[in-house]
């Protein structure tokens, strides 16, 4: 069973930065596509970024492109998400997810079988 634990969230002023991280245990991390999603209060969960199993391919939502960077360290079983130039509309719970069926990564939440508990990011104006 794959377990995912997010960390690094917090309260930050607009324009600030955070480094979120996802630590994976169990399973075969290096074979999974990995993704980050977020859910704001009263809104549906939305795609943020994804990365292929090798790290060679990345995908971003248009709303975060140029501000967020996803990467992975297959030796440490981690998936960092560097978030910069934060805006109040980035406020959400951020979730890490793993997709055994989509090793190249995916923007569709239905492609992910394993999810973490989330880490809260709050951006004040």
Q: Which residue, among 46, 32, 25, 35, has the nearest Cα to 90 in the 3D structure?
A: 46
d(C-alpha 104, C-alpha 118), whole Å: 23
Q: Does 1 score more than 90 pLDDT?
A: no
Q: Are 8 and 96 in contact (CB under 8 A)?
A: no
Q: Does 109 score more than 90 pLDDT?
A: yes
Q: Does 119 score more than 90 pLDDT?
A: yes
pLDDT digits (tens, 9 = 90+) for 13-52: 999 999 999 999 999 999 999 999 999 999 999 999 999 9
pLDDT digits (tens, 9 = 90+) for 57-87: 999 999 999 999 999 999 999 999 999 999 9
Q: Are 50 and 34 in contact (CB under 8 A)?
A: yes
Tokens describing residue 101 = 């069926």
């Amino acid at each position: 069973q794959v377990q995912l634990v997010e960390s690094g969230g917090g309260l930050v002023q607009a324009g600030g930065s955070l480094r979120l991280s996802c630590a994976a245990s169990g399973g075969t991390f290096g074979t999974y596509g990995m993704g980050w999603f977020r859910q704001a209060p009263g809104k549906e969960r939305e795609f943020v970024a994804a990365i292929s199993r090798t790290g060679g391919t990345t995908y971003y939502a248009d709303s975060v492109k140029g501000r967020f960077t996803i990467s992975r360290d297959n030796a440490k079983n981690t998936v960092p998400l560097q978030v910069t130039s934060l805006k109040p509309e980035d406020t959400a719970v951020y979730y890490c997810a793993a997709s055994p069926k989509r090793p190249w990564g995916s923007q569709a939440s239905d492609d992910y079988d394993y999810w973490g508990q989330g880490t809260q990011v709050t951006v004040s104006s």
